Amino acid sequence: MKIVVLDGYTENPGDLSWQALAELGELMVYDRTSLTDEQQTIDRIGDAEIVLTNKTPITQRVLDACPQIRCICVLATGYNVVDCAYAAKRGIPVCNVPAYGTAAVGQFAIALLLEICHHVAHHSQAVHDGRWEHNQDWCFWDYPLIELSGKTMGIIGFGRIGQTTGRIAKAMGMQILAYDSFPSDAGRAIADYVGLAELLRRSDVIALHCPLFPETEGMINRDTIAQMKDGVILLNNSRGQLVVEQDLADALNSGKVFAAGLDVVSTEPIHGDNPLLQARNCFITPHISWAPRESRQRIMDCVVQNVCAFLKGMPENVVNRL
């Protein structure tokens, strides 16, 4: 059984082990494979029967050119890089890794919020630069400091990750509003479910934790921003395409949106002409919410489990049921 990993570096830059996967077959791991050169992908898959990918696209052309593929495992929860419908027609299950980063992504959303509220990194650097040592007062701050207790957080998308963010925010004294297509009893224990318009109108902080679907693409735009409070804080460590970036940049520069904390953008890596790079009070990190070692180990463990289940004839976490 030949197994190929097309882009393993972000999953395992050297602090994890591929050994458990290697014990299941003849394993080849590539750190990176071109996202645009389909021929390179085809050449690297060759006659492999099990293919692991994170962001390298598995298109119809790739599937047609690699007839030995029997199973595709995605090193992530999102699976839009695979032509799942065509894989299903070919009888190829596509398996993902659900819920591996719930705690980490929720934690990171709060980290973005706290950085906006306190500018910890900036003030630490100011101290190291000698500004406190030479300050005539016993303390100083360069930005407004914001207390969150008593404020309202609205969370769009209230599944596992949204609820994790909500629990942390609630523990800090915030009121939680949630908008989700499928309200749950677990969610009701944390938040009040409201319509989207009410959430936009009432929230001091808005966090995006929803998947990217046609109906959610660009949902944060000029019109929805206009419905928000003046001075709202926006957090997005879900999918960059949820936001119309020029509209958000305009809102940041006008002060309508006080600040944004973003771990994702529409095109990754970010392009130098992205308007958010020049926007006021815009904090951008390089899509690392998911990346603590603990989360990546869960990915590794689940992928091994997915491969084992497939080899036993009982594939798990299949997203394109045949």
CATH number at residue 184: 3.40.50.720
Q: Is 209 a catalytic residue?
A: no
Q: Record the tokens describing residue 320, joined without a space.
A: 């394109």
Q: Residue 322 falls within a domain, yes or no?
A: no
CA 272 to chain centre: 21
Q: Is 134 a catalytic residue?
A: no
- Do residue 152 and residue 300 come from a single domain? no
Q: Residue 319 falls within a domain, yes or no?
A: no
What is the pTM for the complete model shown? 0.94
Rounded to an integer, what distance in angstroms lies between the CA atom of residue 172 and that of residue 148?
7
Domain span holding position 7: 2-100+293-311
- From the list 122, 268, 271, 294, the catalytic residue is 268
- Do residue 56 and residue 128 come from a single domain? no
If you average pLDDT over every residue of the chain, what do you get?
A: 97
With a pLDDT cut of 90, the percent of the chain lying above it is 98
Note the pLDDT tens digit of each residue in 24-42. Answer: 999 999 999 999 999 999 9
Q: Record the tokens describing residue 190, joined without a space.
A: 């944390």
- From the list 167, 202, 280, 287, the catalytic residue is 287
Residue in this structure with the two tokens 């419908």, named with its chain if needed: 85
- Do residue 129 and residue 76 come from a single domain? no
Tell me the pLDDT band of 322, cut-offs 50, 70 and 90: confident
Note the pLDDT tens digit of each residue in 73-128. Answer: 999 998 989 999 999 999 999 999 998 999 999 999 999 999 999 999 999 999 99
Q: Residue 320 falls within a domain, yes or no?
A: no
Closest residue by Cα to residue 101 from 10, 190, 203: 10
- Do residue 236 and residue 304 come from a single domain? no
- Do residue 59 and residue 118 come from a single domain? no
Q: Residue 10 falls within a domain, yes or no?
A: yes
Q: Residue 181 falls within a domain, yes or no?
A: yes
- From the list 119, 239, 296, 298, the catalytic residue is 239
Task: Give the per-residue pLDDT at 321.
Answer: 87
Q: Is 298 a catalytic residue?
A: no
Rounded to an integer, what distance in angstroms lies between the CA atom of residue 171 and that of residue 322?
43
- Do residue 25 and residue 53 come from a single domain? yes
